[in-house]
Amino acid sequence: MLETCPCDDGDRQAVGARRPGAGLGQVAGAALMAFAILGLFFYLLAYLAHAANLASYPYDLDQGEAYDVNSGWLLAQGLPIYTGNERSPYYSSNYPPVYSLLLAPIVAQTGPTLAAGRLLSAAAALLTAVVIAVVVGVRTRDGIAALTAGLLFVASTYVFHTTPLARVNALALLFAVAGLACCLGRGWGWRAGVVVCFLLALYTKQTTVDAVVAGLLALALRDFRVGMVVGVAIGFLGGISLLLLDATHLGAFWLNVVVGNVNPFDPKQAFDYYRNFLEIHLVMVGLAGWQLVRNVRDRSVGPFELYWLLSLGLAVSVGKWGAGESYFLAPIAASAVLAGEAIARIRQDAELRPRLLAVLGGLLLLQGLLFAHGPLYRLGPMFVDRGAQASVLSRWPGEAEVRSAADLVELLKQAPGPVLLEDPSYGLVAGKEVIGNATHLRNLYQAGAWSPDALVDDLRERRFSWVVLNAELYPEPILEAIGRYYYLYEEYEINGTRQRVFAPGEQ
């Protein structure tokens, strides 16, 4: 069985005669809570509509989507996703394989569409909200608090922006949160679930190590022997998997998943993201912090309390080049759980002090206002999307941009040979092989782990019918070769980016 929160073990005092106005306070508090929950439920509907719209849009909103889908497509064809990047197509994934493995049988039926990856990720995010609600419900025995906790997660601006994309983040978070939930259970069946979920999390995205450490610490604090056994099992099975993957791919797994993810760090970028995260999630994080203090005082620190602390610390990696809002998904999930427990505690205390319910309702309404995103922007500047990546991830292309994208795809379809694209989603729609992984090759080059000579030779020989750049993400030798051997042919304005098409120059 799962552990329950100590706040439910205390005696509920019978309430006799109430002070004058207590009934009015209860009514006002209940009304504010109802409005707050309805507002959060609106964000769930907005999320579902947004996920459906994204599934119908075949091109990238985030630069890495098509790469993650391409990895699943390669596996569906029996091709490796980890190579030395030394020969065409110069492509490797820089993530562990679980997302690609789950996506492979889907794209084997649908083809390499972003819709497949996006729907997989959106489903994972919604299941994460369900796990959060179940954990809070079991620990507090408060259905309203459980529902609110799940809705708070889905309502987050960062969740809205990042989890319906065809990226590994939402699936990794689902496995991490499920593993932490299993840590609350007692018995070897739950412990086996911990091992399975944490291994899946680590082999979906390596940054889920914060959940693994939090879960193992919580188990060890409760029963050191159990924590050691589960930790050894995860270490042994994870280590064997790492050795097998790396040996099977001749060292390419370590090269791409570890070496390829060492990026330059910008402290200012990390500070700006933290500030934006706290500005948007102020109430939820505040409730979570208050609940953590109460749990520490009650000596009931468990996996989600430790996860909240560790994930907030690990989120500093958002300062890496190429990082974004998705690095805060773990603190958001942990905050939703602890905030749900705080809501249950406040609702319990409100039986004696009815005004507390009104305060709680007002706080949740404020949080809903801070979360403003999606169609709410039509209501005025107060409802502007405050997300750090709002200009990219909340923007929706107009009809003229969709026509421009279709024109670019038609141009690529007519190309007799391969094409080199920084945004490969247009190539996937055109039925072209994905060549190169721009940001990943840049990272490897800067780490001294990749030579661009072979790709430069291909550019010199004008092997590519078209080269399309939108942000000059390739390493400098590749960009120099493009400038030397290709000339600017056309430009397309699509979704806030300028897709510049280069044609081969004269030999």
427-476 tens-digit pLDDT:
999 999 999 999 999 999 999 999 999 999 999 999 999 999 998 999 99
- Euclidean distance between CA atoms 439 and 112, whole angstroms: 21
The confidence band for 11, taking pLDDT boundaries of 50, 70 and 90, is very low
Q: Do 134 and 194 sit in the same domain of this protein?
A: yes
pLDDT at position 63 is 81
In a domain, 107, yes or no: no
In a domain, 283, yes or no: yes
Q: Do 301 and 407 sit in the same domain of this protein?
A: no
Average confidence score pLDDT of the chain: 92
In a domain, 320, yes or no: yes
Q: Among the three residues 342, 375, 392, which one is the final residue of a domain in this structure?
A: 392
Residue 127 has pLDDT above 70, yes or no: yes
Least confident of 125-134, 168-177, 292-301: 292-301
In a domain, 374, yes or no: yes
Q: State the total domains in the chain.
A: 2
Q: Do 322 and 443 sit in the same domain of this protein?
A: no
Per DSSP, the three-state class of 382 is helix
Q: Do 407 and 443 sit in the same domain of this protein?
A: yes
Q: Give the mean model confidence (pLDDT) for residues 224-230.
A: 96
Closest to 319 (Cα-Cα) out of 278, 275, 279, 281: 275
In a domain, 138, yes or no: yes
- Whether 194 contacts 179, CB under 8 Å: yes
Q: Do 342 and 404 sit in the same domain of this protein?
A: no
Q: Among the three residues 337, 368, 392, which one is the final residue of a domain in this structure?
A: 392
In a domain, 147, yes or no: yes
pLDDT at position 383 is 79
How many angstroms separate the most distant Cα atoms in the chain? 94
Q: Do 406 and 336 sit in the same domain of this protein?
A: no
In a domain, 11, yes or no: no
Residue 28 has pLDDT above 90, yes or no: no
Q: Do 415 and 365 sit in the same domain of this protein?
A: no
Which positions ≥6 away from 123 have C-beta within 8 Å? none
In a domain, 72, yes or no: no
Q: Give the mean model confidence (pLDDT) for residues 74-84.
A: 96
Q: Give the mean model confidence (pLDDT) for residues 139-158.
A: 97
Q: Counting beta carbons within 10 angstroms of the beta carbon of residue 126, is it exposed (0 to 12), middle (13 to 18) or buried (19 or more)? A: buried
- Give DSSP secondary structure letters for 252-277: HHHHHHTGGG---B-HHHHHHHHHHH
More confident site: 382 or 499: 499
Q: Do 287 and 217 sit in the same domain of this protein?
A: yes
Q: Among the three residues 345, 365, 392, which one is the final residue of a domain in this structure?
A: 392
Q: Do 298 and 405 sit in the same domain of this protein?
A: no
- Whether 211 contacts 311, CB under 8 Å: yes
- Whole-model pTM: value is 0.92
pLDDT at position 400 is 85
Q: Do 335 and 412 sit in the same domain of this protein?
A: no
Closest to 222 (Cα-Cα) out of 211, 230, 233: 230
- DSSP type of residue 166: S
Q: Do 340 and 406 sit in the same domain of this protein?
A: no
For 491, the domain range is 399-504
pLDDT at position 17 is 43
Q: Do 383 and 290 sit in the same domain of this protein?
A: yes
Q: Counting beta carbons within 10 angstroms of the beta carbon of residue 457, is it exposed (0 to 12), middle (13 to 18) or buried (19 or more)? A: exposed
- Whether 338 contacts 308, CB under 8 Å: yes
